[in-house]
C-alpha cells in the first residue's frame, strides 16, 4: 500500500516480548490468495464498505468490515479502463503478494473482480510509519506543553524494534527473489501491537540470474539509491538496503535524511553527506553510468562522520553500533552495502535477537 493506504491514528503500545520476528510464520510457504469473480451475484456480500481512507494514483482505499467474521479489512479499489484494462501495478501487486506470506508483510486476503473494478482485500493496519512518527511527535508536544525544541525522533529502543521488523520483511522478499523497489515510511504499516509490515508492492519485481535490466524510475526520490539516481538499470537487492538505511535514519531524527527536490539535488545532498565516489577511492562502479557527469567527477567532497550526517550533537548519546549499521547500509557503492541477512545479524540487534529467540 502507498502513503494513501493509511489508517486510524495509533500512538501507544509496547513491543510484544513473545513475538517471533526471527523466523517466518507457519504460513510462510507460497499460497495463492483467493480470487472471486463477482460478475454474477453480490461481489461484496461479506464485505461492508466503511469510510474512505485514502486515494492513490490508481486506487482508492476504504476501511471495510468482513460481516461474517467481524474483522476489519482494507479494500483497495482499482477502477478498470475499458481500453487499457487492469493497471500493471495492480497485476504486479497481486501476483507477488500471492506468494509472500510473512509476519512482516501485509496480508492479501482476497481479490474481487468485476467488469468495472478490481478490489484487493488486505488486512487492516492502524497506521503507516510516517503517521506513527507524526503522532508520537504531537503527543510529545502535548505532554511537554510546548512546540519548541521538541525532539521528533522515536525512542531508540523502538527504532531498533521497527528496524528489525523492516529488515526481516525485506529479507523474506529477497530470499524469495523479489525487490520491493519502493520502501519508504508511508509504505510500512503498523498495527496496534506495534507489528510492522511491508505494504504496496505495486513497483516490486521478481529478479533472476542473470539480473534483468530494470527501469531507473523506481523508489520515491528521498529513498532512492545513488546508483539508481546516476542511471543504473542493473540494480539488485542493494537498492532496497539503501532505502532501509534512509528509513532507519529518519526514525532516529524524525525527518527525512536526504529530502531532495529532483535527481540532481538528491545526489548533491547525498554527496555532501557521504562524500563523492572519486574521493572515497574507487569510482569504477559508477564511471560508466549515464548520469555520472564530468561535473560530478570533478567534485572532491569528503564524507562526514555519521553523527554529523544525522545532525546529532556531540552530547547526544547514540550507540556506535547503530551508527555502524547505518554506515554499512548507506554505502555509495552498491556492492559494498550489506545484505538484509547481514543487517539482521549486525551487533546492534544482539540484545533484541536474544529476546526473541
Residue keyed to cell 493506504 = 5
- Local structure of 29: helix, strand or coil: coil
Q: What's the CA gap between 2 and 129, in Å, rounded?
A: 11
Q: Which of 128, 182, 200, 240 is catalytic?
A: 182
The grid cell for 22 is 526471527
Q: Max Cα separation, the chain?
A: 67
Q: What's the CA gap between 249 and 316, in Å, rounded?
A: 15
Alpha-helical runs (H) found in the chain = 88-97, 129-144, 156-175, 226-229, 238-253, 263-274, 294-298, 306-310, 320-329, 340-344, 350-356
Q: What's the CA gap between 225 and 334, in Å, rounded?
A: 8
Q: What's the CA gap between 284 and 172, in Å, rounded?
A: 31
255 is in an annotated binding site: no
- Local structure of 146: helix, strand or coil: coil
The grid cell for 74 is 482494507
Which DSSP category does 222 fall into?
G
Q: Is the dihedral of CA 120, 122, 124, 129 positive or negative?
A: negative
**Cβ proximity of 202 and 90 under 8 Å:** yes
Q: What's the CA gap between 276 and 283, in Å, rounded?
A: 9
Q: Measure CA 279 to chain center.
A: 30
Going from the C-alpha of 105 to that of each of 52, 94, 317, 321, the distances in angstroms are: 23, 13, 32, 27
Beta bridge partners of 72: 65
319 in catalytic set: no
Question: Catalytic residue positions?
Answer: 182
Residues forming the annotated binding site for ATP?
A: 76
Amino acid at each position: 500500500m502507498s502513503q494513501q493506504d493509511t489508517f486510524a491514528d495509533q500512538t501507544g503500545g509496547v513491543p510484544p516480548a513473545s513475538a517471533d520476528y526471527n523466523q517466518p510464520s507457519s504460513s510462510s510457504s507460497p499460497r495463492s490468495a483467493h480470487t472471486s469473480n463477482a460478475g454474477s451475484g453480490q461481489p461484496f456480500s461479506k464485505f461492508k464498505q466503511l469510510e474512505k481512507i485514502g486515494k492513490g494514483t490508481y486506487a482508492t482505499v476504504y476501511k471495510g468490515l468482513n460481516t461474517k467474521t467481524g474483522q476489519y479489512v482494507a479494500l483497495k479499489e482499482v477502477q478498470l479502463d475499458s481500453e487499457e484494462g487492469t493497471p500493471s501495478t495492480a497485476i504486479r501487486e497481486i501476483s507477488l503478494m500471492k506468494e509472500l506470506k510473512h509476519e512482516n508483510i501485509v496480508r492479501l486476503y482476497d481479490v474481487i473482480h468485476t467488469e468495472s473494478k478490481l478490489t484487493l482485500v488486505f488486512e487492516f493496519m492502524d497506521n503507516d510509519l510516517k503517521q506513527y512518527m507524526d503522532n508520537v511527535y504531537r503527543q510529545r508536544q502535548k505532554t511537554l506543553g510546548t512546540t519548541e525544541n521538541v525532539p521528533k525522533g522515536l525512542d531508540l529502543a523502538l527504532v531498533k524494534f521497527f528496524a528489525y521488523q523492516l529488515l526481516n520483511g525485506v529479507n523474506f522478499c529477497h530470499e524469495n527473489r523479489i525487490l520491493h523497489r519502493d520502501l519508504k515510511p508511508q509504505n510500512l504499516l503498523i498495527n496496534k501491537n506495534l507489528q510492522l509490515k511491508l505494504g504496496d508492492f505495486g513497483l516490486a519485481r521478481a529478479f533472476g540470474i542473470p539480473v534483468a535490466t530494470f527501469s531507473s524510475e523506481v523508489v520515491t526520490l528521498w529513498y532512492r539509491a545513488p546508483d539508481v539516481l546516476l542511471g543504473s538499470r542493473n540494480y539488485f537487492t542493494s537498492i532496497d538496503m539503501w532505502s532501509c538505511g534512509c528509513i532507519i535514519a529518519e526514525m532516529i531524527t524524525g525527518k527525512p535524511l536526504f529530502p531532495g527536490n529532483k535527481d540532481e539535488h538528491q545526489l548533491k545532498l547525498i554527496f555532501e553527506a557521504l562524500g563523492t565516489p572519486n574521493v572515497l577511492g574507487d569510482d569504477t562502479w559508477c564511471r560508466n553510468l549515464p548520469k555520472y557527469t564530468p561535473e560530478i567527477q570533478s567534485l572532491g567532497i569528503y564524507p562526514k562522520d555519521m553523527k554529523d550526517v544525522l545532525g546529532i550533537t556531540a552530547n547526544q548519546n547514540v550507540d556506535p553500533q547503530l551508527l555502524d549499521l547505518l554506515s554499512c547500509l548507506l554505502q555509495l557503492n552498491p556492492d559494498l552495502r550489506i545484505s538484509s541477512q547481514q543487517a539482521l545479524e549486525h551487533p546492534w540487534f544482539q540484545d533484541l535477537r536474544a529476546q526473541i529467540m
